């Protein structure tokens, strides 16, 4: 029998951060709600220091706003936020594609093709969670190859803000199908050796708010609430 690890390698701050992010993902902590620092520290059995450190990280990632007198508000996602995040992700992913292009092997492109096919099968089975996982794997190929950890961290955080805050149970099937078609076009550009066009396509089509707006509005069911916060 394997021995259980004696120590948790994560710091208290990291454990508190992971707990709060999981609560947000599951919808236990909702946008617009207030996090009571004293109640939360008691619930977790930790002092205010690791809790505040975790909240400071969440604030730097735009998940919360820390106000005077230990009041913490969970930020609401606004239309302007979505526009800004799409613009940033598109710009950074296009840079990642340019940087990773010469490192990308035929095997990597084949893997992109495989992930796209698995996304198609997941949507045909109405399994959005599986689709979401395969979609992340798809984009992770060129992100990892760009070898810029700060860029990757920013992109991943913004995607969590967009799609995992909380994780919505439903999905817009025509959006996922359109995304799969866009991926296929992107793969074709890579196979043709068209680096600049592949990067431009990812930025100006796949991550264009204007291009994707009709799907975005459907995905965010609480669109009126979003507009009210914009």
User: Is 7 a member of any domain?
Assistant: no
Locus of tokens 């492109």: 109
pLDDT interval class at 225 (50, 70, 90) = very low
Range of the domain at 209: 79-228
User: Is 3 a member of any domain?
Assistant: no
| DSSP class of 10 | S
Check whether 1 has a pLDDT greater than 60.
Answer: no
> DSSP characters for 48-70?
HHHHHHHHHHHHHTTSEEEETTT
Q: Which tens digit of pLDDT belongs to each residue from 99-145?
A: 999 999 999 999 999 999 999 999 999 998 899 999 999 999 999 99
Q: Which tens digit of pLDDT belongs to each residue from 22-55?
A: 999 888 998 999 999 989 999 999 998 999 999 9
Mean pLDDT of the region 206-214: 97
Check whether 220 has a pLDDT greater than 70.
Answer: yes
pLDDT of residue 80: 94
Phi, psi of 167, deg, nearest 5: -65, 120
> DSSP characters for 131-189?
HHHHHHHHHHHHHHHHT-HHHHHHHHHHHHHHHBTTBPS---HHHHHHHHHHHHHHHHH
User: Is 6 a member of any domain?
Assistant: no
Q: Partners of 164 in the beta sheet?
A: 167
Lowest mean pLDDT among 112-121, 171-180, 212-221: 212-221
Q: What is the pTM of this model?
A: 0.86
Q: Cβ-count burial of 85 within 10 angstroms (0-12 exposed, 13-18 middle, 19+ buried)?
A: buried
pLDDT of residue 4: 53
**Whether 84 and 69 share a structural domain:** no
**Whether 89 and 112 share a structural domain:** yes
pLDDT interval class at 164 (50, 70, 90) = confident
Find the CATH number of the domain harbouring 112.
Answer: 1.20.120.530
**Whether 89 and 104 share a structural domain:** yes
**Whether 34 and 88 share a structural domain:** no
* Percent of the chain as helix, strand, coil, to the nearest 5: 70, 5, 25
pLDDT above 70 covers what percent of the chain? 90
pLDDT of residue 10: 77
User: Is 104 a member of any domain?
Assistant: yes
Indicate the SS3 state at residue 74: strand
**Whether 70 and 88 share a structural domain:** no
**Whether 180 and 139 share a structural domain:** yes
* Domain final residue pick, 74, 91, 109: 74
Q: What is the domain count for the chain?
A: 2
**Whether 94 and 54 share a structural domain:** no
pLDDT interval class at 159 (50, 70, 90) = very high
Find the CATH number of the domain harbouring 33.
Answer: 1.10.10.10
**Rounded CA gap, 48 and 91, in Å?**
38
What is the average pLDDT value for the chain, to the nearest integer? 90
User: Is 1 a member of any domain?
Assistant: no
**Whether 66 and 105 share a structural domain:** no
**Whether 68 and 119 share a structural domain:** no
pLDDT of residue 71: 86
pLDDT of residue 68: 83
**Whether 49 and 110 share a structural domain:** no
């Amino acid at each position: 029998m394997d021995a259980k690890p004696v120590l948790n390698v994560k710091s208290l701050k990291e454990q508190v951060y992971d707990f709060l992010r999981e609560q947000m993902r599951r919808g236990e902590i909702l946008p617009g709600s207030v996090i009571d620092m004293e109640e939360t520290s008691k619930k977790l059995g930790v002092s205010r220091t690791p809790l505040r450190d975790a909240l400071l990280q969440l604030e730097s990632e735009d998940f919360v706003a820390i106000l005077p007198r230990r009041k913490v508000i969970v930020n609401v996602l606004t239309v302007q936020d979505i526009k800004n995040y799409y613009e940033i992700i598109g710009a950074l992913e296009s840079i990642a594609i340019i940087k990773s292009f010469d490192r990308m092997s035929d095997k990597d492109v084949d893997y992109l093709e495989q992930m796209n096919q698995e996304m198609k099968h997941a949507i045909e089975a109405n399994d959005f969670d599986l689709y979401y996982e395969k979609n992340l794997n798809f984009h992770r190929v060129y992100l990892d190859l760009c070898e810029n950890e700060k860029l990757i961290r920013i992109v991943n955080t913004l995607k969590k803000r967009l799609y995992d805050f909380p994780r919505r149970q439903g999905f817009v099937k025509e959006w996922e199908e359109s995304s799969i078609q866009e991926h296929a076009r992107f793969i074709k550009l890579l196979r043709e050796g068209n680096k600049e066009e592949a990067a431009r396509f990812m930025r100006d089509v796949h991550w264009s708010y204007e291009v994707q707006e009709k799907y975005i509005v459907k995905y965010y069911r609480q669109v009126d609430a979003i507009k009210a916060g914009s």
